[in-house]
Structure 1
């Protein structure tokens, strides 16, 4: 199978076994290719091709016999992140030729050699899920708050983010947004997010963020160069603007680090919702490209907790749930919202507001 032939197929995300490993890598090739990431697609293609060989030492043996569900575990991105880290650290010139988009005739051999040379470095990258914190996705939170304010919810928002990673999106009060001509945030901000906007702009209102905190099972400290490098390694090298945004986020964290608790999603949400709501403030539980990594039992707990708290919400103290997650059919991300404010019918259904590029380079606004 070549990269051009790779097709994304819908499969059970909890499937296990060697066939599931092969399908996870094939899907990742297609996903990267279809989202403008040919270099990352080439790396994943080489890894896919290595599955049928004996190359790659202990790292690839572990990959071939992966004990969990490779798609749900984002197995291809775990090892791809480690290989990218080698390039960013300047540890393997032959591998870097691929990342620098130089013409190479044997990418599979280059990747196999790199894995075997750097086995001790790469093995720990298989131990945990990718960290894909991305400031470019915070457009969704800004647009959702404008939409919620237009629905009559208080424009004072307390943000609570599941899977906040390094807390980059929790610092969005310091970012400037231009959303189809509707602006928000400080005009002099170093982080400026201006996605290509398709369709009508969101409501031209104002909002304020009165609180921002999050959780992650493995929070990332942006002020630690080693942890910052790990986060950069999960950025696809094709998207150079994401590295600039990451540097801006690191600078912002040095000034005032975000509040990220080491907690699972269910524990965090139940704790947040157990606190008395504040009148005149809209509580928001939000997440982006995280839900697929949350165990099913935790998703069920979060959903029950949100719906139970939603039943107690009022016009003065509403509750909103904002989700920016991947639709694996379309390879696009969907911004969807539920909210409760004490009125009949609210909160019963998700309302899709927009679809977007995975990293926020363009947005198609669908909400009226």
Structure 2
């Protein structure tokens, strides 16, 4: 049966903090719907098989831990933790039974196939449940580039100091080295190895230019792209349907080996508060930015960041403005939105676009309805 015909696999907005067996089932069902809506049929089929496995007694200790998950499965991105481990097995060539799955062949008894694999590789898979997935993706930086052009068009200085929370491997912090084609608007060095050209929908962003004069970030578990083991883990979280993402990751690894990004291991709120407590530089737009991170932060930490931004925004000036750029999921519409706030002058959120979560397309509609 095609997943789209199953009512239990439809996306349903829910409380990210919900816990318990039903929350686990809903997390997997939502992940299936989310993957399919974004053209990731292989990953959808894997998550569908895992969902069906929840009601069986199979899958060993890994599935027992998933069924009795102690945290909030939606906020913890539980389905992507185990899916990443299974993809890693395939990438390592350690499990021949997974080869047809990742070749796009739909297994007739996916749950049983996955149960066999999980039971055979329990020691390998268990650690994949210990931490959240890392989904650093250079394609998302196209949205940031478009937002910077929009901010310059609003009169903010075109020199940007980037401060990224949840920076993971720092791939977006290296965007000064990337070349973008944003609906025919080109920005970035012409000779860049990394070239990013999302499918553009709607009018192009304002033409112009910007420069990045500083870039630093934080993450509770930074990834070192120059460490092959850590880079391999990052590859495992790439949905196999998006082959261009593997090429972009390889290009980012080359860039990191040349000049690694500056990433601090610390909580996001600590980083934001400390960053905004420093004296701003005249003629520079200071930016706090993040992509697919906000949902993973505890509520208390989100509140601290919002308070720090409001306080720093009140002190901002035309010569030393502050901007907040976010590419995050709207839980109600099931879409990712590129939104911006800036001080002084644009203190409320403006939605600039909706976008594919991994940068495949951007639908530009500044000020569009939510």
Question: Does 2:153 match 1:150?
Answer: yes
User: What corresponds to 1:244 in structure 2?
Assistant: 247
Q: How does 1:12-51 map to 2 (within 5 A)?
A: 12-51=15-54
Matched residues in 2 for 1:312 and 1:328: separation?
32
Question: Does 2:279 match 1:280?
Answer: no
Contact 1:2 1:45 in 2 (8 A): no
Once the two structures are superposed, residues 120-178 of structure 1 have per-residue CA deviations (whole angstroms, 9 ceiling, x without a partner) of: 11111111111000000001111111011111111000000000000000000000000
Residue 226 (structure 1) aligned to one of 224, 229, 233: 229
Matched residues in 2 for 1:151 and 1:254: separation?
36
Alpha-carbon shift at residue 10 of structure 1 (Å): 1.1
Question: Does 2:7 match 1:8?
Answer: no
Contact 2:45 2:106 in 1 (8 A): no
Matched residues in 2 for 1:327 and 1:229: separation?
30
Aligned with 1:13: secondary structure? Answer: coil
Matched residues in 2 for 1:245 and 1:330: separation?
28
Runs of 4+ with >6 A deviation: none
Aligned with 2:3: secondary structure? Answer: coil
**Which runs of no fewer than 5 residues in structure 2 stay unpaired?**
none
User: What corresponds to 1:290 in structure 2?
Assistant: 293
Alpha-carbon shift at residue 2 of structure 1 (Å): 5.7
Distance 1:149 1:191, change over 3 A: same
Q: How does 1:35-184 map to 2 (within 5 A)?
A: 35-184=38-187
Matched residues in 1 for 2:56 and 2:366: separation?
49
Alpha-carbon shift at residue 279 of structure 1 (Å): 0.3
Residue 253 (structure 1) aligned to one of 256, 272, 281: 256
Contact 2:86 2:125 in 1 (8 A): yes
Matched residues in 2 for 1:238 and 1:134: separation?
14
Contact 2:164 2:289 in 1 (8 A): yes
Contact 1:164 1:214 in 2 (8 A): yes
Alpha-carbon shift at residue 108 of structure 1 (Å): 1.3
User: What corresponds to 1:265 in structure 2?
Assistant: 268
Matched residues in 2 for 1:93 and 1:150: separation?
53
Question: Does 2:366 match 1:363?
Answer: no
Aligned with 1:350: secondary structure? Answer: strand
Matched residues in 2 for 1:36 and 1:336: separation?
24
Matched residues in 1 for 2:63 and 2:81: separation?
12
Matched residues in 2 for 1:330 and 1:302: separation?
24
Aligned with 1:30: secondary structure? Answer: helix
Once the two structures are superposed, residues 307-361 of structure 1 have per-residue CA deviations (whole angstroms, 9 ceiling, x without a partner) of: 00000000000000000001233332100000002x4xx31x1000011111111
Report the RMSD for the aligned CA atoms in angstroms. Answer: 1.1
User: What corresponds to 2:353 in structure 1?
Assistant: 354
Matched residues in 1 for 2:63 and 2:108: separation?
22
Q: How does 1:195-214 map to 2 (within 5 A)?
A: 195-214=198-217
Matched residues in 1 for 2:149 and 2:104: separation?
41
User: What corresponds to 1:327 in structure 2?
Assistant: 330
Aligned with 1:105: secondary structure? Answer: coil
Moved more, 320-329 or 74-83: 320-329
User: What corresponds to 1:316 in structure 2?
Assistant: 319
**Which runs of no fewer than 5 residues in structure 1 stay unpaired?**
none
Aligned with 1:352: secondary structure? Answer: strand
Once the two structures are superposed, residues 177-209 of structure 1 have per-residue CA deviations (whole angstroms, 9 ceiling, x without a partner) of: 000111110111111010111111111111000
Matched residues in 2 for 1:34 and 1:318: separation?
38
Matched residues in 2 for 1:21 and 1:128: separation?
16
TM-score (norm 2): 0.97
Aligned with 2:136: secondary structure? Answer: coil
Residue 194 (structure 2) aligned to one of 163, 166, 191: 191
